[in-house]
Amino acid sequence: MTELIHCDSDALAPIDTQQLLQPVSDDSPIKILILYGSLRTRSFSRLLAQECARLLKFYGAEVRIYNPSGLPLPDDCEDTHPKVSELRELAQWCDGMVWCSPERHGAMTGIMKTQIDWIPLSIGAVRPTQGKTLALMQVSGGSQSFNAVNQMRILGRWMRMFTIPNQSSVAKAWLEFDDNDRMKPSAYYNRVVDVIEELVKFTLLLRNKNDILVDRYSERVESAEALRKRVSERS
């Protein structure tokens, strides 16, 4: 420790590789929340979300699709609003998420951003999104673009989530769904399968590992300082 003169010896510790690498026996289904970013009657982001749900169920996951209709704008009501409470409860319930937004004016939709803005980084001592997995998808009315998924990737990092490397961008989405609102066979559909398969694998690997994966030195320092302060005040 003599070389690490700026480190708090009470908070700095070797990484427990045994705990980190130890297999966790958990046969329960993974829980995935899907958010989509359009309120249109025939919403292609919702149709893509439903395709994702079918795939996730095939892989044995429990799935919830949140309907953003009726969700108020951030700060336009109390956080006790039923749609806000529903969203926050689902965010705490899940092991991972899928975010699927249309691209509008070169960005994710306001509907998509509103949902994310209503999920706080912390609710008391609980961090609803920290350490959870995230898959990103977007649909476009024109040529293929990655503006929305790139924006959402930044947001995923901000929400302290593990965003998987793969992602999906469906161009000219109105051509990719049939009259029964099912996605047609295509390279786009194959990529959707890739993304969901990868999400399931990462979620299985990372769930039940939050305690060690997101255990941070800086937060241990803050906790140690708070403890020392309380002890000092009592003595």
Q: What pLDDT, in 10s, does the model give residues 14-28? A: 888 888 888 877 889
What's the rounded Cα separation, in Å, for the pair 103 and 142?
Answer: 10
Most confident of 21-30, 167-176, 223-232: 167-176
Mean pLDDT of the chain: 90
Q: What would the pLDDT profile of 130-168 be if each residue is shown by its tens digit?
A: 999 999 999 998 889 899 999 999 999 999 999 999 999
* Residues shown for the chain: 235
For residue 56, give the nearest of 86, 85, 96, 10 by alpha carbon: 96
Strand 96-104, strand 107-108: pairing: antiparallel
Burial class of residue 133 (count of CB atoms within 10 Å of its CB; 0-12, 13-18, 19+):
buried
Please check the confidence at residue 81 and state whether its pLDDT lies above 60. Answer: yes
State the angle between helix axes of 147-158 and 110-117 in degrees (0 to 180), rounded to the nearest 10: 10
Burial class of residue 154 (count of CB atoms within 10 Å of its CB; 0-12, 13-18, 19+):
exposed
Q: What is the pLDDT of residue 80?
A: 92
For residue 193, give the nearest of 161, 163, 170 by alpha carbon: 170
What's the rounded Cα separation, in Å, for the pair 38 and 68?
Answer: 8
Q: What is the pLDDT of residue 127?
A: 86
Q: What is the pLDDT of residue 110?
A: 96
Domain spanning 28-234, CATH architecture: 3-Layer(aba) Sandwich (3.40)
Q: What is the pLDDT of residue 233?
A: 67
